Each structure stands twice: as structure tokens, then as C-alpha cells.
Amino acid sequence: MQLIASNKARDLGAMLEGYECPAILVSADYEILATNQHYRDAFGEIEFTKTPRCYEVSHGYSKPCDQSGEDCPLGAAVASGHKERVLHIHQTPRGREHVDVEMLPIHDAEGDLAYFVELLRPVPLASGEVSTQELVGSSPPFEKMLAKIARVGATDASVLLLGESGTGKELAARAIHMASKRSAKPMVTLECAGLSDSLFESELFGHVKGAFTGAQNNKKGLVELAHGGTLFLDELGDIPLGMQVKLLRLLETGTFRPVGSGEVKTSNFRLICATHKNLLAMVNAGEFRNDLFYRINVFPIAIPSLAERLSDLPVLSKAILSRFTGGDKYHLTNSAIRTLAAYRFRGNIRELRNLLYRAIVLADTNVIDSRVIDMCFEEDNLIKASKGDQLIDSDTTQGEPAGVPTTELLDALIPNQEATQWPSLKDLERRYIEAMLAAQDGDKVAVAAALGVSERSLYRKLSGKNK
């Protein structure tokens, strides 16, 4: 035990060894007074010859967390007088890691706040930087999601994951499973989209030999295979309405019968569901059972879209490229990141992953710049054209301008009422670009990235030489 405080603090510090996780004793002015062995094993020794402050040691900040753009559990505990809990990214010997922080206030005999015990539980489900973890990010929406995963993971509560297609709902489900006491048992996944009533029932509950034409052998269902572990129902909103009552009975009783069998079986599993659909709207429309909705909607977690976590784009892209190549072989330039950030990824991380793989194929070197990204978007244009959609300028992307004042741009394009002649399309394009340049203080790099064109193309369009 390392201490720099009074005998009273020394006695309180000895109490830290009773916690089965990293713990520190902190004063009301953020001074670290003691650490336990679990803390030293996880985060290293603290230099007590100086006056160590928790925000300095954990984050490298020069001032408290709530003055540095983050939630401060100590400040919150001082204000409430009660236990507070937040998810932070801490500096560790292994790099920046997510840590579940719980702040416990200690009152003296007069009822005044005297000390605080800070419990730090590393969250090995994700990383704030490129690592072996599949969940990567540090944006506020990502951390909000991760905090909920960390809280619910240790319980047996049913979880409903809500988010757009391609956001990583299955990765979130796997993280919940790995954080649970069931992690040593399997997580079994059923993709519910496109399944008929009979196929859904057979896949979920299994069948016996001769139950139907083609049933040549007994087959265990996914419910039985998930015993002791986790059952993940992906795209829950696509479950046939006629099968929803059987799923409800399974969840309420834990019992089921394989197709063609009279034997009642039981299974103990943790349920995680995911959907991109609005289930409550489906309930109101009579497309989803009301009782089933409230049975599964125990702990909902919103999975943020890529558009909601654009600040994670650099580390996400780096992590994806690293997994493709098994290392840091490819490098994304800042211009490439800006071009990606201006694009509306309707397919979210799944679309980003596909585009980056395409970039590896198209790149002549290990440096992926905006030119390579533009080439990737051109391939998307060809796909759109093959489906009968309008093919746009080969120099442009499907990106949508980010952070541009729409009203000013429209005013620049629309002629006034006294105009006797409408401008040409080429002139409209030039006006549009000039309005964007004005909105971006003349930053041609930013405008080119927002439009999804190369700087060379931007200059060509401004000069009127666009063919």
C-alpha cells in the first residue's frame, strides 16, 4: 500500500485491498491518496513524491475532467452526495482503454464528504484505438452505447439492439455475450429475415426425422444449441406474425417442442434481439405482437450510425485496414479522411469496410489519398447506373455536403423574380461552388472534400472548363 496522507487516510487506504478490482482513495480536491494492488497490477505505480491528481494520472489532463470536456464522477458525487458511475477512456500501460468508473463517497462522523473510493473496472469489450477488439471508437455516442453494454453485460436481462443496417449490431451482441457469465457457452445466431413460418420454426426449435418432406434426420434447433449461452435473433422485425406467439411462449416458459415431436424440451438461454425497424410502429400497425414487444424490450440499446460518430472515422478506418492486411500496411491521408467524412454512408460501417477494401485494390501504393477514394465512389456510380439510376459526374461522389448552410446555397442558385433569363447548368454549378467557398471561408480543400471531388476538378469547374 502506497500512502501520502494522514493516519486516518492510511486506515481508509487499507480498506481498498478488500475490493476485487482496481481501486484508489481520492480526496475532494482530486488528490490520489492510496491505491490497491489490483490498481497497481492494471495501471502501474503512482509517483507519490509529487501531488498526484486523478485527472492527471488517468487522462493526462491539467484540469478536472468536467473542465476538459468529459463527465467527472468525483464532481458528480460531490454534488449528489451519492455513488456516481461513468465510462471513461484512461491512459494505461497498454494504451488508451475504456474503463467503467464508480465513485463511492465516504462521509465523516458529522456527515460531511471526506474521501472518495474510485473503483475502476477495465472494459475489455472495445478500444479507443486500433487493437484486437472489434468495437473501436471514443465518440460520445459510441461511449454511451458501450456504457450500456458494460452495465447490462453482467446481468441476464434480455437486450434489444436498435440501429440502422450495417452499424455493427451483431458485434454489440457478441460484446454483451462476452461480458456475461455465459461467455464460456456458445452464442447462437438466427437471421430472421426472409424465413417462412415452417423454416423459422424448424431452425429455431429443430425437427425430428420424417417431420416433413426432406427431414431425413433429427436436427437440433438453435434454441437447444443455445442452452447455457446466448440466443441472438437478428432482424427480429422480420419474424413471421404466425410464429411470434410460439416465440413468446418459449420466452415465457423456457419450453419448446421440435417440429414433428411430442416431446417438450427446455432451454436456459440469454436473449438478445436486434432490428433496424420501428417495432412500436409495427405494433400499432398490427404487424408485431404487443405482448412480444414488451417481453423483449427489457433493456434497449441504440447502436449509433456512422453519421452520428464521424469523429471515430479515422480510428475505424485504420482498424478496418489493419484487419484486412494484418498490420499497418496502408495509410489514409487527411484528404482521404475528409472525403470519407463528407459522404453519406447509408450502409454505415459495412459500407465503409467494403469501400476501404476497394481502395486497397485500386491504390498503386500503400498510401490511400482522396484520389483513390474518388475512384472508389466512381465504382458506386457505375453500380447506380446499372440499376437505372442517374450517373453523376465521374469526378463526384455520392457524398452530401457536410456542415454547409442550405439557405445561403439555395439563394445563390435561384434567380430573383425580375430575372429574364435562367442561368445555365454550368453557371448554376459554379455559383453553388462559390457559395460553398464563401461558407467555408475560401477553404478549397474542405469544399472539395464536401463535394466529393478532387481539388483539380474543383479548379476546373470554377474556371468554366468542365466538360
Q: Which domain holds residue 34?
A: 2-122
**Residue ranges in the chain modelled with pLDDT below 50:** 1-6, 387-410, 412, 417, 467
- Residue among 113, 92, 76, 100 at smallest CA distance from 154: 100
How far, in Å, CA of 356 to CA of 346, rounded? 15
214 and 156 belong to one structural domain:
yes
The pLDDT value recorded for residue 240 is 87
| Domain assignment of residue 393, yes or no | no
165 and 296 belong to one structural domain:
yes
Domain end among 57, 91, 122: 122
Number of domains in the chain: 4
How far, in Å, CA of 235 to CA of 173, rounded? 12
| Domain assignment of residue 398, yes or no | no
| Domain assignment of residue 129, yes or no | no
Query: Where do we find the cell 464536401?
Result: 450
CA torsion angle for 122, 145, 65, 55 (degrees, to 10)? 10
Domain end among 253, 268, 302: 302
Count Cβ atoms below 10 Å from residue 382 Cβ, excluding itself: 10
The pLDDT value recorded for residue 170 is 93
Give CB contacts under 8 A, 24+ apart, made by 260-266.
260/207, 260/208, 260/210, 260/211, 260/212, 260/215, 261/207, 261/208, 261/211, 265/224
Query: What is the DSSP code (8-state) at residue 27?
Result: E
| Domain assignment of residue 377, yes or no | yes
How far, in Å, CA of 25 to CA of 27, rounded? 7
The pLDDT value recorded for residue 130 is 62
35-61 pLDDT, tens digit each: 999 999 988 998 888 889 998 998 888
| Domain assignment of residue 394, yes or no | no
The pLDDT value recorded for residue 406 is 46
| Domain assignment of residue 254, yes or no | yes
Q: What is the pTM of this model?
A: 0.72
Query: Where do we find the cell 460553398?
Result: 436
Domain end among 267, 302, 337: 302
Non-local (6+) Cβ contacts of 323 within 8 A are: none
| Domain assignment of residue 185, yes or no | yes
Asked if 152 contacts 127 with a C-beta cutoff of 8 angstroms, the reply is no
341-397 pLDDT, tens digit each: 999 898 999 999 999 999 999 999 999 999 999 998 886 665 555 544 443 343 433
13 and 156 belong to one structural domain:
no
Count Cβ atoms below 10 Å from residue 426 Cβ, excluding itself: 12
145 and 279 belong to one structural domain:
yes
68 and 85 belong to one structural domain:
yes
Count Cβ atoms below 10 Å from residue 13 Cβ, excluding itself: 23
166 and 76 belong to one structural domain:
no
C-alpha cell, 442: 475560401
290 and 310 belong to one structural domain:
no
Looking up residue 259, the CATH number of its domain turns out to be 3.40.50.300
Looking up residue 349, the CATH number of its domain turns out to be 1.10.8.60
- Residue among 224, 274, 288 at smallest CA distance from 250: 224
- The DSSP annotation for 81-140 comes to SS-EEEEEEEEETTEEEEEEEEEEEEE-TTS-EEEEEEEEEE-TTEESSSSS-SEE--SH
Q: Which amino acid is located at 446 in the chain? A: A
Asked if 352 contacts 316 with a C-beta cutoff of 8 angstroms, the reply is yes
Query: Where do we find the cell 453523376?
Result: 392
Non-local (6+) Cβ contacts of 282 within 8 A are: 237, 288
129-149 pLDDT, tens digit each: 766 667 888 898 999 999 999
312 and 294 belong to one structural domain:
no
Count Cβ atoms below 10 Å from residue 57 Cβ, excluding itself: 19
Asked if 401 contacts 436 with a C-beta cutoff of 8 angstroms, the reply is yes
C-alpha cell, 185: 457457452
- The DSSP annotation for 370-430 comes to HHHHHHHHHHHHHHHHHTTPPPPPTT--S----S--HHHHHHHHSPPTT-SSPPPHHHHHH
| Domain assignment of residue 395, yes or no | no
What is the SS3 string spanning 198-263? HHHHHHHHEECCCCCCCCCCCEECHHHHCCCCEEEEECHHHCCHHHHHHHHHHHHHCEECCECCCC
293 and 169 belong to one structural domain:
yes
How far, in Å, CA of 193 to CA of 165, rounded? 12
Non-local (6+) Cβ contacts of 267 within 8 A are: 223, 224, 226, 227, 254, 256
176 and 294 belong to one structural domain:
yes
The pLDDT value recorded for residue 400 is 42
298 and 311 belong to one structural domain:
no
The pLDDT value recorded for residue 340 is 93
The pLDDT value recorded for residue 405 is 42
104 and 252 belong to one structural domain:
no
Count Cβ atoms below 10 Å from residue 300 Cβ, excluding itself: 14
Looking up residue 418, the CATH number of its domain turns out to be 1.10.10
Residue 445 vs residues 338, 366, 442: alpha-carbon distances, Å: 9, 22, 9
Q: What three-state secondary structure class fits 60?
A: coil
Q: What are phi and psi of 326, to 5 degrees?
A: 75, 25
